[in-house]
Structure 1
């Protein structure tokens, strides 16, 4: 019996110390693909992804860099998407932030190697420029109960701060029950000063993250467009859901428009991952949401996004956990207790 699935690719921040060695542990049989990625890295004088993944020691300073984290996450996530069980039918693909680039390859709109070129180029450009930064702050409580008034109040505060002289602050990613905000140091510091500390860790700065998905990234978008041509892009083999909730259909997508979105709007405007997940649920009603590795953090965000939409009647965390216990709908491939549900 066939199981339908939406594949969801993660973004930055998902290759951490526990993930060191992910490629070698899970994908030793795909080393030929990884060595092709190594060759692309060698052209730019960069460390091979196989060597980075096979290193004896992990350091945040090195592995959180865009030119290191991005290619590792791409390799791990794409390989995961390519080893799904034979009884799984992929009905759509989406991703969070940098995960959009991986989704393009997982859906067939970019070849494996061209997808790597896009990820490696954009990750390197982001690191080289490192314009601004990001922080994360929740608008729901531990129960994940929707609180639209709280969300609206936080976004109003963002607008207030952004209007201040010398302050840049904007919504970067709508991320389930959390907001990822991006801006310059003055803008980020002002928000941290204006909001209380919650859940013992928020507001939380993201190390080595630039002000993704804001106008501050316009120089990066321009340089990316100059380096990466539209000829790299083609028709997706699976429906693709972008960071606006729009669907790019196989056989009916404009490759030039896909290039323009990927290296334009997607870089400089807010990324609505919540809407992407909710579109996937409502339009494709899959049996499973499969989050590819390497990290586990995106699983909770996917669950929150479904809860916020009250999908299948789930209105809080307890309802989701009850559904997951009864018949799992969310599979995180990096989790050993769930991986076999996707790979067979």
Structure 2
């Protein structure tokens, strides 16, 4: 890359701190004092510190993917990567995120302080783990070529809607995630969908372990507890534009802070998170040179690329189109990939 680039930063959500990410904070987090402050918060609450979790000898699926542990680890890894971006080479023009990545986006954009953002992410992750209402699964609607297929998506969503009308069944679109549908509901609803669709590649539909029915009305009790626990004074005007899970932009110096808190602890918890729409708005509103996906993990890049294809951005209509564009001049940088991190991170 040559010259200073503009970038939209994309913050990942749950499911991105896995075995390969063990030690991520130790390798990459740039501010020891800030990490110590996060650890102090968790120690005061009787929780394992991030340093202990990240520095464990072995990755434990049961321990590291729990909401009360995963949320803090992912938030810290995301924020650390954001702080590591080289601002002499990169001008960040906006921030967005996927699902719990919204909490990270708030901190990256300055709408909450780093420590208050940790309080929000850690509190909500803990409350969701304590309640653990329902579950999630993932199912793709795009083929291997990533060409848009609105009819297939509509048919799958019609199946979801029909299942949700059945007695004692709950099922809804949790996250519109590029070429994937993340569905959430109760056990009856999830099982009914699994029975209704064709298996794909021996992987899908894929249940997501330690995940609740995020972004559905089933999370209303969690939203109420979050609203009771997290005060308005944690929130402030953002210093950077933020694109939320509806595709709405929160602009610096003009955001309604009351509305921002209400959204973060209300609709963001209980209504569908439209990540595809957020990326579409980010592309069309800010037209960045780059989309930078922070760590941890490397899985969100595909959803960003698929979202850009679905938006017909810069004429890209397939996976091959995206790959050709990416090969000629990188459009997407994943900081979780060692070979790409150096394109945007300071030395």
TM-score (norm 1): 0.99
Once superposed, what is the RMSD of the aligned Cα atoms? 0.7
Equivalent residue runs for 1:289-304 within 5 Å: 289-304=291-306
> 5+ residue gaps in structure 2?
none
Which residue of 1 is the match for residue 153 of structure 2? 151
Distance 2:306 2:264 in 1: 25
Distance 2:213 2:337 in 1: 30
- CA deviation string 1:234-288 (max 9, x = no partner): 0000000000000000000011100000000000000000000010000000000
- CA deviation string 1:179-229 (max 9, x = no partner): 000000000000000000013211000000000000000000000000001
Distance 1:134 1:31 in 2: 35
**How many residues get paired?**
343
What is the DSSP-based 3-state SS (H/G/I as helix, E as strand, rest coil) of the residue aligned with 2:292? Answer: strand
Which residue of 2 is the match for residue 240 of structure 1? 242
Distance 1:42 1:25 in 2: 22
- Structure 2 residue aligned with 1:109, among 104, 108, 111? 111
- Structure 1 residue aligned with 2:309, among 307, 310, 330? 307
Which residue of 2 is the match for residue 203 of structure 1? 205
Distance 2:165 2:65 in 1: 31
What is the DSSP-based 3-state SS (H/G/I as helix, E as strand, rest coil) of the residue aligned with 2:84? Answer: coil
Distance 1:32 1:20 in 2: 20
Distance 2:312 2:319 in 1: 11
User: Structure 1 residue 55 and structure 2 residue 56: aligned?
Assistant: yes
- CA deviation string 1:271-327 (max 9, x = no partner): 000000010000000000000001000011100000111111110001100100000
Equivalent residue runs for 1:134-283 within 5 Å: 134-283=136-285
Distance 2:92 2:255 in 1: 18
User: Structure 1 residue 41 and structure 2 residue 42: aligned?
Assistant: yes
What is the DSSP-based 3-state SS (H/G/I as helix, E as strand, rest coil) of the residue aligned with 1:173? Answer: strand
Which residue of 1 is the match for residue 83 of structure 2? 82
Distance 2:11 2:127 in 1: 21
Query: Which 4+ stretches in 1 moved above 2 angstroms?
Result: none
Distance 1:276 1:31 in 2: 32
